[in-house]
Structure 1
């Protein structure tokens, strides 16, 4: 079968389908377990995932952080509060963090939150929910308000509890997997019925046991003196941007070129290091790309060998917000972080030519050890604070050296 395209009309970009895997887990300052393959779906032969979104709460960054948080206030907080407490400011230990990204021209917000605890603080949780949405602002050109983003994925330890029912009733309902009565008294479900903004967020069915509170290193619900009621504190929500009302009688509908469907929503009972169980959601995101050309296209020039410097070609779109602080990094395939470069170059300082959007820079690779690894190039935009271009993987050949052959001629060796 052959596909033809009219020269008078450019081909429309094909629809994209991406699989997104979301993980939320309050790890209660515990160290990572030895095996996370099941949680990350790596024990499946073909997990068919395009993107991982992982959000943790109560994460400790090391033994000193753990000791500081449990025995003392950390020194930075102590310093700031010495200054701010006399001015009537109060430090809270809950909140949310947000990542904004642009995906094929669509704005996507990812929010990881930890809302106030305890059954009686439901109003405070709802206030924090609204506050996080209203107060999130992004630096950068033309980034819309978070509520104008095409997709919001919101997850975390939201701390919503089950009202009215006593401990014995809730535990018996969980034991017999009779969840429907508990859903009716779930504080988040109740709030969604009456809160206009919260109602716009969707959630999958809670077909798994409540994920809090467990005795650590077991699957037993809280046996301490407090004996907290089980609750679905750990949740994953999403919201698609709605089209404006055409009239007062017509409900708003999602944008026609972007849809999100939930493939699975579950907890993982096998992990016992925390008093919470991790929760995951697998989504299929379908969209019609609004942009089909990357902001930056990177191309290593010719055969790369380990000499002093090598040439990089790159092109950029006319509306790209370039900056003198943009740089290109050389990485081994499998990099873990943007700072894992083996070499880098400032694009303005090392530019050798430019013509009709095609630019050339040199990058120093003389200090790279001889290796069979594959490499790639990444362009980092200071204005957008993000990687905006990645090359295809390539190899760098070992440096040539000379060797005399039996006939007395000098031959280059690779």
Structure 2
């Protein structure tokens, strides 16, 4: 063996390995992006006339958000003829059963392409087996990181690790040049254990990603899937069947990105398509779309199963019907084609019992297993075999194999194998893609910001209210769109432990399309002052936010010093006494007085009178009408005034207001026909004793 790649390419026999440079180079894809000349993209087009933007206007608000990616992709697809260009890039896949070999600079012998000028590939895929001992219970992330660092140091600047994953001894690493890495998206990883009781000492890692994908499936790019396998070992005939069963289990676990690829004839699951294919539109939306003659046919095309599958690993297939000496003889004479006649895997592929739809390059290199340490010699305990393999599946015009071989790098009991490919695909020019996305973003944000969803009237309420009484505040919520809306109300700037300022009727509810509903806030303020609360109103599924605010100017006459009453409040109290004194009789006037202890002791009418005394000008003319039959209004007014008097701090007859109201009180006692003892029973809370009342009743001046 030499230090160069041993392969089916005669040219590679004379290729020498040199240490890679660390000088940054512009890769071919970057050069392509720089050199490509784009046509004028939809020169003079009107954005409003494209299908995507017309549908954006016609969709209900929730579907404007739900189908953003679909509409954006449909918008970008308008520029396929002008802004998407064909391109080619190279891939190098290296697979190696490490047998726990530590990261080595020997990788420098492998990373360069086998072409005479020794270029680097744009995409590198490393699939390792036995990175750590198979007796371990998990993969070793630090070892994987060490391998990533070693690979990056062997490559020029401008590469990055786009994916790394481990499954016990299995490790998959994907590196790409910076321009190509920007084209990789939707990376998905799946694993399956193949050991005893599905243990992961044997198994498979599937890594799949999209290359050049834009938006959803309509511009789905090129799907690529990497299968890193370590199948069951063994030289017995039964072991080959066990390996076939391993493949069947893998095929029944993972879907493949190419419909023609099957690991075994009876394995395979339907490809999982996570993109929604059917637009879920309301009848109203469909009618609008029909009225505007907009076609939705083909707006979301399902992906075609013509991706690329790269399969590699320690598949553990052996050379059968040949003894060890015969295998060594063919190997020494480089009669590799003769060896492959007895290769289990080659024969099973020929019989179509495994790997249908896959291809493998011509094996023109020595068996890769089993070697003794760093000696380069085969272990006499085992028959040499081609256990380590690389196969691929993909459209003929998309993938072309350039090289297939192995490297004489020692330390493990396996030799590394590698394959080089050229892949043809198409990319959206990055700058053009950015420009068009900004175009759509601006238009989309304009449409979204101008959506009329929910109207709240009014948005601000400021009212006077009465302390001690429940106050209701009502907002009208109006749904302006053609679908139901679910709203949620939350108080802003509310401390975690602070009690809510208002009780809200239906903090979270739904409003039917084109309808309205009242939302009521209630509070029972306990003291005089200003109460302010602000609320955010959010809509489920939308970023839209509205703010409403309530300010209550809380007032009261109860418990307030006479001289601190507002002028209208004072006048209302004076007029209330006058109204009572003008009653035609005293019938029933004192029937409730001794039962009054709090606001709750008052009837609704009496509470309203007390509120009017506090906040408004009392309509005594209207109340007089209620006195036509009995003294209903006078009783109510007296009960309200009695409530006021019970909590009155004092009556200071040294002030004008005090003298007037005290005089009204004495007139009321006389009007009710009470003597001093009776008066003290009802109004004793305002006097020292019944003798004080007697003095005032007998005095002509009070």
Task: Please give the secondary structure, in 1, of the residue aligned with 2:379.
Answer: coil
Task: Report the equivalent of 2:358.
Answer: 201
Change (3 A) 1:355 1:276: same
Task: Report the equivalent of 1:245.
Answer: none
Question: Unaligned stretches of 5+ in structure 2?
Answer: 1-35, 46-78, 140-166, 168-195, 213-220, 256-270, 278-301, 448-702
1:167 to 300, 318, 324: 324
Distance in structure 2 (CA, Å) of the matches to 1:124 and 1:167: 23
In the alignment, structure 1 residue 32 sits paired with structure 2 residue 150: no
Task: Report the equivalent of 2:248.
Answer: 130
Task: Report the equivalent of 2:555.
Answer: none
Could you report, residue by residue, the CA deviation over 1:297-341 in whole angstroms, capped at 9, with x for unpaired residues?
Answer: 59xxxxxxxxxxxxxxx95977xxxxxxxxxxxxxxxxxxxxxxx
Change (3 A) 1:25 1:14: same
The normalised TM-score by structure 2 is 0.34
Task: Report the equivalent of 1:58.
Answer: 130
Task: Please give the secondary structure, in 2, of the residue aligned with 1:119.
Answer: coil
Task: Report the equivalent of 1:49.
Answer: 121
Task: Please give the secondary structure, in 1, of the residue aligned with 2:386.
Answer: coil
Deviation at 1:179, TM superposition (A): 1.4
1:117 to 230, 233, 236: 233
Could you report, residue by residue, the CA deviation over 1:343-367 in whole angstroms, capped at 9, with x for unpaired residues?
Answer: xxxxxxxxxxx9469xxxxxxxxxx
Deviation at 1:197, TM superposition (A): 5.6
In the alignment, structure 1 residue 108 sits paired with structure 2 residue 221: no
Change (3 A) 1:74 1:169: same
Whether the 8 Å CA contact 2:112–2:120 is kept in 1: the answer is no
- RMSD (Å) for aligned C-alpha atoms: 3.9
In the alignment, structure 1 residue 141 sits paired with structure 2 residue 267: no
Deviation at 1:214, TM superposition (A): 0.3
Deviation at 1:48, TM superposition (A): 3.6
In the alignment, structure 1 residue 259 sits paired with structure 2 residue 367: no
In the alignment, structure 1 residue 231 sits paired with structure 2 residue 385: yes
2:207 to 90, 93, 99: 99
Change (3 A) 1:147 1:199: farther
Change (3 A) 1:17 1:175: same
Deviation at 1:95, TM superposition (A): 1.2
Deviation at 1:294, TM superposition (A): 9.0
- Aligned counterparts, 1:329-344, within 5 A: none
Change (3 A) 1:125 1:208: same
2:340 to 178, 183, 186: 183
Whether the 8 Å CA contact 2:94–2:126 is kept in 1: the answer is yes
Higher strand share: 1
Could you report, residue by residue, the CA deviation over 1:56-101 in whole angstroms, capped at 9, with x for unpaired residues?
Answer: 00002xxxxx5xx65x7679x9xxxxxxxxxx94535211101111
Task: Please give the secondary structure, in 2, of the residue aligned with 1:11.
Answer: helix
Question: Unaligned stretches of 5+ in structure 1?
Answer: 61-65, 78-87, 241-253, 299-313, 319-353, 358-414
Structure with bigger RCO (C-alpha 8 Å, 6+ apart): 1
Could you report, residue by residue, the CA deviation over 1:367-390 in whole angstroms, capped at 9, with x for unpaired residues?
Answer: xxxxxxxxxxxxxxxxxxxxxxxx
Whether the 8 Å CA contact 1:33–1:273 is kept in 2: the answer is no
Deviation at 1:273, TM superposition (A): 1.1
Change (3 A) 1:178 1:98: same
Q: State the aligned residue count.
A: 269
Higher helix share: 2
Whether the 8 Å CA contact 1:29–1:58 is kept in 2: the answer is yes
Change (3 A) 1:182 1:73: same
Largest Rg, 1 or 2? 2
Distance in structure 2 (CA, Å) of the matches to 1:126 and 1:57: 19
Task: Please give the secondary structure, in 1, of the residue aligned with 2:85.
Answer: coil
Distance in structure 2 (CA, Å) of the matches to 1:216 and 1:4: 59
Task: Report the equivalent of 2:68.
Answer: none
Task: Report the equivalent of 1:392.
Answer: none
Distance in structure 1 (CA, Å) of the matches to 2:323 and 2:430: 58
Deviation at 1:184, TM superposition (A): 1.0
Whether the 8 Å CA contact 1:21–1:281 is kept in 2: the answer is yes
Whether the 8 Å CA contact 1:295–1:317 is kept in 2: the answer is no
Task: Report the equivalent of 1:284.
Answer: 422
Distance in structure 1 (CA, Å) of the matches to 2:233 and 2:304: 25
Whether the 8 Å CA contact 2:312–2:391 is kept in 1: the answer is yes
